[in-house]
Amino acid sequence: MTRLILTADSSSAGCVVSAGLADLVIAIELRMVWGPPRSDAELAAFWEARTTQGPDSHWLYSLPRQRRQNFGFKDLGLIEACERCETVELWMETEPNAQLVLVWLLDYLGPRAKTFGHHFATRGCLSR
């Protein structure tokens, strides 16, 4: 089964895969620090299965199409993707945007993590 890591930094994502620490690493590249906050509807749509969301409005945006297809994640919502993985880990930097993404992910996934039936963990900081 697939070992999935979610991070907020695409540079870290490539390094983690190259080091063999995960089968798949997805960078959640959503800027949350600047500008007006997103509406609850926008935030919910970001995690749901892909339908009409724009290119920067879905959690799988940063993952190339071929990788999405190889792992069977083509248009899945985050919960459905996590259910297909053996482990799900959140690895985040300490910079403000990454911490906001982490809080947002924990808020979204936390209540649902027990239903995954497998390992779910967080890592507070990636070293550079």
Q: What is the pLDDT of residues 66-109, one digit of tens each?
A: 777 788 888 888 888 888 888 888 888 888 989 988 888 888 88
* CA separation, residue 90 to residues 16, 37, 41, 82 (Å): 12, 22, 23, 12
Q: Which domain holds residue 111?
A: 2-123
Q: Is the pLDDT of residue 115 over 80?
A: no
Top pLDDT among 96 and 10 is at 96
d(CA 32, CA 62): 16
Per-residue pLDDT tens over the stretch 17-27: 888 888 888 88
| 95 falls within a domain | yes
Residue 128 covered by a domain: no
3-class SS at 64?
A: coil
Tens-digit pLDDT profile for residues 47-68: 888 777 776 777 877 777 777 7
pLDDT: which is higher, 8 or 14: 8
- pLDDT of residue 121 exceeding 80: no
Q: How far is CA 85 from CA 53, 82, 94, 106, in A?
A: 24, 5, 26, 17
- Number of domains present in the structure of the chain: 1
